[in-house]
Each structure stands twice: as C-alpha cells, then as structure tokens.
Amino acid sequence: MKQFLLLFLLMMVLTNQTQAQERKRVREYGIKIGVLPTGQLNAITDVPGVQVGQVTLNKGKDIRTGVTAILPHTGNLFQEKVPAAVFVGNGFGKLAGTTQVQELGNLESPIILTNTLSVAAGMNGVITHTLQQPGNEKVQSVNAVVGETNDGGLNDIRSRHVTEKHVLEAIQKARGGAVEEGNVGAGTGTICFGFKGGIGTSSRKLPASLGGYTVGVLVQTNFGGVLQVAGAPVGEELEKFSFRQQILEKADGSCMIIVATDAPVDARNLERMAQRAMLGLGKTGGIASNGSGDYVIAFSANPGLRIPHEAKEKTQTVTLLHNDELSPLFMATIEATEEAILNSLFKAETTVGRDGNKVEALPLNKTLDILKKHHVIRP
C-alpha cells in the first residue's frame, strides 16, 4: 500500500511538472497579435546588441522576487550613452533616474527592474557596476535607472531580500538570445489582471520597404483591469476582473515597459514611441488605475547614435528618421507591447507566497475555449 501511495505521489509530481512545462507563449497556441511579423526570437533581444539578465529569488514560503537587467549594448554604457526617453502613463511609482533621462535625452546605465523596496539596491548595483568598468576610473557620478512594481502580495517585500549582489549578478548574466518569461526575475512575485503576472517580451520586424527596423519590448506586469486577448473578453467571461459586482477586487499595481529599437530615432521620437506602448497596454484591458505606476522607457540601440561621454568635437552629426517615417514604429511598439503582456500571463505559473497567499495562473484551457468561441483561434 505504501509503495502504491509513493508511486501515486511521484506520478502527481511529474504530472504537475509536465503541466508547468506545457505553458507556452501566445503564438504557440495559434493566437496572432497584430499584423506585423515578429523578429526571429520574438523578444527584445531581437534588437541587435540588446541583452537581458535575470536573477530569481524563490526561496522558502515567502521570498518571491528578483531582478531583471536590460543592457542596450555590450560596451561601456557610461562612455557610450544611447538616446532614450521616459513616458509616464500613471505616476504612482518609484522610477529612479527619470529626470536626467528626460533632461539630456540619453541613458548611461543598464535598466534595472525589481520590487518597490529594492530600488535602492538596484541603484547601488548599477553604481558599483559602472565604477568597476575599465575606463570609468575617474567617474564620480552616474545616473542609475531603476524601475519597480510592488510584489508584496506574494513576497516578503519589507525584508528587502534583493541585494546589490543580486543586481550585479543580473547584469553579469545579461546575454542576447531567448528571454525567459513568467515567474522569473523581477516578475517572480507579480500579479496581473488578478492572475499570476511576470516578465514578458515580444518584437516586431518591419519589412524592408518600411526600413527593416526592429522594435523589441520587455514588460514586468503587475496591474489590473479587464483582460482582453486579441479583443476577446477573457477577463469578463472568466469572471475575474477589477470591480466585478462592486466587490472592488484590487486593480492597483504597476507595469514597467521597456521599448528598444535599432531605428535611428532621437529622444524626442523615442518619447513618441513610448507613448504608444501605453496603447498596447490598453489593448490588453489595462486601465492605468490610480495606484498603478505605469512607466515606459524607450531607447535606440542604433550604433550611429551613440553619445560619447567625452566628445572630441563640439558638434555631432547623426542620421535620423523623418517624423513621417515613425508610424510603422508606432504600430510595432503597440503590437509588441500587447503581445509581451500576454506572454507574461501565458507563461506565468500558479504561485503560493507570503502568508500562504496563492495566485492562480491564467487558466489556459478555459482561456483557449473562450478564444475559440470568439474566433481568435480556430476550434
């Protein structure tokens, strides 16, 4: 009898592991978002030079947090800055480093995403990383850009488990290639539309006739609203959405959105692209609620636009796209943001965390049935 019970438990464990492994990205279920083609990996790393590194802290009963680092290029970012912009969809958040980016229109550090009370650790990690890089021996100031969402529902956020060491590790792990999604890095403890949120990414590759540029997006999802998938009312039909029956299910949270491109666009037009990312969030049903910190950081990784820390000449000559050429990039940003958010939900897994709080993953079978019903995917 004991042997039978042990065999049964083992089968249950293996079944659960298999189910977890079966969670796929949106497109793998036949769900097509938008009309533009994706990049090769359908990830922010499709933009040449862009790298992502993540550290996941999933320990004991109440540590569910982490760090996600995004690097615009593989060189010394402080010495070779990139054009950048910030757009605030709703400002209930703690995004460090914004004023200098807005004032100067450039980015000189990795972008760090983590939880709300670990922004200081994120800044310390970026500062240490920058000061340690060869060529930065005389640097006495660096603008560390660190974004956050509050994962206190699942994570023991007050104990501040993320340290400078974890931030440095995420930066050191940064690589090109496929990006892990769901319950990883800064998305380990996040909640989105009442389901388990996380890290998600997507990209769009413009055809040669429109310049052949790539736009990549990475998101950290932790916000509320009424979930829609390709226009289908998934949240409504699952009866899981903010303010349902006036019960006031919590809608607050945050969303960090990182937009990267290799298109030759300056800070002004990067801000315009960043604005469009909020339209992508809206297409998923996000409402940018009062207590939500919804921020977009956009940068161009185009090598021809790099800004030297110590310029030898008083002027800089660059080639930029005309305003009239921006509309395809706007569409790419909207589509990639929408799909990145959905990928974060489709890949995330049910999580139990602080005080035994449990957040269910988006129920894929029910969701797919709804999408078939609304002809988003074929039955």
d(CA 379, CA 365): 12
Q: What are phi and psi of 107, to 5 degrees?
A: -125, 130
d(CA 295, CA 318): 28
Q: Which stretches of the chain score pLDDT less than 50?
A: 13-20, 245-248
Question: Alpha helix locations (H) across the chain?
Answer: 2-21, 98-104, 119-132, 164-173, 234-237, 267-283, 327-347, 364-373
d(CA 192, CA 183): 12
Residue 368 token pair: 């797919």
d(CA 283, CA 42): 19
Q: What is the pLDDT of residue 251?
A: 57
d(CA 354, CA 187): 15
Residue 17 token pair: 């592991």
Entry field: residues in the chain: 379
d(CA 259, CA 277): 8
- How many Cα neighbours within 13 Å face the side chain of 364? 21
Determine which helix (DSSP H) or strand (DSSP E) holds 216, and give its type and residue range. Answer: strand 214-222
Q: What is the pLDDT of residue 214?
A: 98
d(CA 97, CA 111): 10
* Residue-wise pLDDT tens digits, 297-329: 999 999 999 999 999 899 999 999 999 999 999
Contacts of 356 (CB under 8 A, 6+ apart): 61
Helix and strand numbers, DSSP H then E, in the chain: 8, 15
- Catalytic position from the list 151, 294, 300, 344: 294
Asked if 371 and 234 count as a contact pair (C-beta separation under 8 A), the reply is yes
Q: What is the pLDDT of residue 246?
A: 41
Q: What is the pLDDT of residue 12?
A: 55
Q: What is the pLDDT of residue 200?
A: 98
- How many Cα neighbours within 13 Å face the side chain of 145? 29
d(CA 130, CA 77): 8
Question: What residue type is assigned to position 316 of the chain?
Answer: Q
- Catalytic position from the list 254, 289, 300, 344: 254
- Kind of pairing between the strands at 293-300 and 254-261: parallel
Q: What are phi and psi of 86, to 5 degrees?
A: -125, 135
Domains and CATH numbers, the chain: 24-305+320-374 (3.60.70.12)
Catalytic site includes residue 300: no
214 beta partners: 205
Q: What are phi and psi of 268, to 5 degrees?
A: -60, -50
* Residue-wise pLDDT tens digits, 85-132: 999 999 999 999 999 999 999 999 999 999 999 999 999 999 999 999
Q: Which of 58, 328, 8 is nearest to 180 (CA)?
A: 58
Cα three-residue angle 283-288-292, rounded to 5 degrees: 140
Q: What is the pLDDT of residue 55?
A: 98
Residue 148 token pair: 């956050």
In eight-state DSSP terms, residue 191 is E
Q: What is the pLDDT of residue 205?
A: 98
Catalytic site includes residue 292: yes
Q: Diameter of the chain by CA atoms?
A: 83
Asked if 241 and 195 count as a contact pair (C-beta separation under 8 A), the reply is no
SS3 of 46, please? Answer: helix
Asked if 221 and 202 count as a contact pair (C-beta separation under 8 A), the reply is no
Asked if 65 and 151 count as a contact pair (C-beta separation under 8 A), the reply is yes
Q: What is the pLDDT of residue 378?
A: 79
